[in-house]
Amino acid sequence: MDSSPPLHPDKAMRCIVETALDGYWLTDAAGNLLDVNTAYCEQSGYSRDELLQMKIGDLEALEDNAETAARMRNIMLSGWDRFVSVHRGKSGALSRVGVSVTYHPSEGGRFFVFLRNLSEQKLTEAEVRVHRDHLRTELARQELALKSSHAFNQSVLSSLTAEIAVVNVFGTIVAVNEPWLGFTLATGLETNVGSNYFNACQPGGRFAHEEDADSAYKGLRAVMNGRLRRFNLDYPCHLASQQRWFTMTVTPLLHEGRSRVVVTHTEITIQQQQKAEIQALNTNLEQRVAQRTRELSETLERLTATQAELVQAEKMSALGFMVAGVSHELNTPIGSSLTVASALQAHAQEFTDNMAQGLTRSQLDNFVRRVREGSDILMHALSHAAELVASFKQVSVDQASVNRRIFDLRTTVDTILLTLGTDIGKTGHTVKCQIPEGIRMDSFPGPLGQVLTNLIHNALLHAFENKPHGEVTITAILKDAQHVCMTIQDDGDGIAPEHLNHVFDPFFTTKLGKGGSGLGLHIVYNLVQELLGGNIQVDNTPDSGACFTLLLPLDAPS
């Protein structure tokens, strides 16, 4: 296997050129010969060193220098050409050659030319003149077609409202339209045909800001080098009398092999003004939203404070009901005690009078009996009053605080019902407690009492509108070793289905202005869910009453 290194592309190209039977030139845009092959040296009779000192015009016998330059310009526009010409050799002999040319814009422009000797027969001067005349006619026709095409393209460019310029790889502007000329005239910027557009990308040029100028230059280069297919830039270009905005778009001229780019400037002043107006509106809107948010926050704070006050008022209302109930309950033993005390006072006065007149044995026995009976009645009444005061003290302490303690559920509920007895009695309805003894809880009796008080008041206020004698039943059973399930069931009208999902919402009430604040059940829900660590739900059967079910832990969360 051959292990020799691969042939370098430049050497391979050189090998191909030297192997070709046709002649080969490489020229620059000025017509200087930069390279030739051996085949052309043999065709012309010149050595390689002699040819590399010559120009196309030194060998061309059919065209003069102006005609050769015109043909080269056409080839630069089209990219290639094939034609027949006549060359003069070193001996002066004329030869017909077929010429094939390809243009590439690199390194300032390069022409790759292959020349085929069409005949070994040498041409006479007369034949050369005939070919020259034919060539001039053809060149004239091509120039006319080119001018016509250029005029058409210029008309199309000028019909567009955007500012358009065609720029070559050196930054030279080769074509512009009428709007472009109008703007350069208004701004005084030198960006007409023949001027260098890269100068506009310098500080103080078309772009008001240095960063815009730098971005424009880099964008132009990126499209010219093929790194970008399209470049866009929005920039300000303010005149002395007005502020204007433009968007710059750069796209390659593809049929030119990206040797040129099309630069388009479209005015977007109205869009920028609208954008600024929208931004100002957004800023104003943000300020208004911020102001409104502050107002809503302040309103929410006021509502929270008001709600706290209402909750406190609800608590005080519950205590008020208890005070009224206890006051009524105390009236009986206190009244009995007062009656007995008055009777004892009368008996004492009678005993004093009898002593003054001479006390008999029967009068003494009668006085002692009456005192003993009065004392028994008085002790019983005062003991009952003391029990009521102790119960009220415990309930009031519990409901006025959130102290935690161990308590018996039945005893606590009975005490609460005792304090509510008068209030319940006025309604004509009854409340029954069917809770077994022995259910002990380590929880918060005060909040639990408020829950029961609110649920009972809610039933008394809402459940029995169409029933003069209703009944509320409180039950409790151990659900498991850690939980107790309590129910507060009434046999009233039930809750309307459309209200069922809202009964725990704050300020929701169907009795606004008639004793309902809309906070009672909301307080119940919060106390059960948060402080007591349980949950509550309501079930309802229209015309058969509502049932509130509480699932509470025996040991409340810390």
Are 524 and 451 in contact by the 8 Å Cβ rule? The answer is yes
What tens digit of pLDDT does each residue of 54-75 get?
999 999 988 888 888 888 888 8
What is the C-alpha to C-alpha distance for residues 142 and 72, in angstroms, rounded to an integer?
13
More confident of the two residues 269 and 374 = 269
Are 49 and 75 in contact by the 8 Å Cβ rule? The answer is no
Question: pLDDT at position 550, please?
Answer: 95
Phi then psi dihedrals of residue 549, to 5 deg: -115, 125
3-state secondary structure of 60: strand
**Highest mean pLDDT: which range of 43-52, 274-283, 287-296, 458-467:** 43-52
Question: pLDDT at position 322, please?
Answer: 58
What is the C-alpha to C-alpha distance for residues 176 and 186, in angstroms, rounded to an integer?
15
- Is the pLDDT assigned to residue 299 strictly greater than 90? no
* Residues sharing a CB contact under 8 Å with residue 52, sequence separation 6 or more, in sequence order: 33, 34, 35, 36
Instruction: Return the exposure string of 426-448: e unless at least 16 CB atoms fall within 10 Å of the residue's CB, then b.
Output: ebebebebebeeebebebbbbbb
What is the C-alpha to C-alpha distance for residues 307 and 22, in angstroms, rounded to an integer?
104
- Is the pLDDT assigned to residue 396 strictly greater than 60? no
**Highest mean pLDDT: which range of 129-143, 305-319, 456-470:** 456-470
What average pLDDT does range 461-485 have in this prediction? Answer: 91
Q: How many CB atoms lie within 10 A of CB 413?
A: 22
| Domains of the chain with bracketed CATH | 9-147 (3.30.450.20), 160-267 (3.30.450.20), 302-400 (1.10.287), 404-558 (3.30.565.10)
- Is the pLDDT assigned to residue 212 strictly greater than 80? yes
Question: pLDDT at position 370, please?
Answer: 81
Question: pLDDT at position 256, please?
Answer: 47
Task: Name the least confident of 15-24, 350-359, 388-397, 548-557.
Answer: 388-397
- Is the pLDDT assigned to residue 315 strictly greater than 50? yes
User: For tokens 């206020």, what's the residue?
Assistant: 461
Tell me the two tokens of residue 48: 């390689």
- Is the pLDDT assigned to residue 1 strictly greater than 60? no
What average pLDDT does range 532-547 have in this prediction? Answer: 86
User: For tokens 């129910």, what's the residue?
Assistant: 487
Are 546 and 492 in contact by the 8 Å Cβ rule? The answer is yes
Percent of the chain whose pLDDT exceeds 70: 77
What is the C-alpha to C-alpha distance for residues 384 and 382, in angstroms, rounded to an integer?
5
Alpha helices in 202-359 (DSSP H): 210-224, 269-357
What is the C-alpha to C-alpha distance for residues 549 and 494, in angstroms, rounded to an integer?
15
Amino acid residing at 102? T
Question: pLDDT at position 354, please?
Answer: 80
What is the C-alpha to C-alpha distance for residues 407 and 441, in angstroms, rounded to an integer?
6
Are 467 and 494 in contact by the 8 Å Cβ rule? The answer is no
What average pLDDT does range 259-263 have in this prediction? Answer: 83
Residue 23, classified by CB atoms within 10 Å of its CB into exposed (0-12), middle (13-18) or buried (19+), is buried
- Is the pLDDT assigned to residue 158 strictly greater than 70? no
More confident of the two residues 28 and 424 = 28
Question: pLDDT at position 180, please?
Answer: 80
Closest to 213 measured CA to CA, from 195, 235, 189: 235
* pLDDT, mean over the chain: 80
Question: pLDDT at position 500, please?
Answer: 84
- Is the pLDDT assigned to residue 424 strictly greater than 80? yes
- HSE toward the beta carbon, residue 323, CA cutoff 13 A: 9
What is the C-alpha to C-alpha distance for residues 131 and 127, in angstroms, rounded to an integer?
6
Question: pLDDT at position 325, please?
Answer: 58
Question: pLDDT at position 48, please?
Answer: 93
* Residues sharing a CB contact under 8 Å with residue 352, sequence separation 6 or more, in sequence order: none
Are 407 and 438 in contact by the 8 Å Cβ rule? The answer is no
> If pLDDT is split at 50, 70 and 90, which confidence band does 159 have?
low
Task: Name the least confident of 57-71, 95-109, 132-146, 290-304.
Answer: 132-146
What average pLDDT does range 292-320 have in this prediction? Answer: 72
Long-range pairs for 378-382: beta carbons < 8 A, 24 or more residues apart: 378/336, 378/337, 378/340, 378/341, 378/344, 380/333, 381/332, 381/333, 381/334, 381/336, 381/337, 381/340, 382/333, 382/337
What is the C-alpha to C-alpha distance for residues 500 and 494, in angstroms, rounded to an integer?
10
Q: How many CB atoms lie within 10 A of CB 393?
A: 11
Task: Name the least confident of 39-48, 57-66, 233-242, 546-555.
Answer: 233-242
What average pLDDT does range 354-364 have in this prediction? Answer: 82
> If pLDDT is split at 50, 70 and 90, which confidence band does 204 have?
low
Task: Name the least confident of 168-177, 349-358, 397-406.
Answer: 397-406
Are 337 and 379 in contact by the 8 Å Cβ rule? The answer is no
> If pLDDT is split at 50, 70 and 90, which confidence band does 186 have?
low
More confident of the two residues 315 and 370 = 370
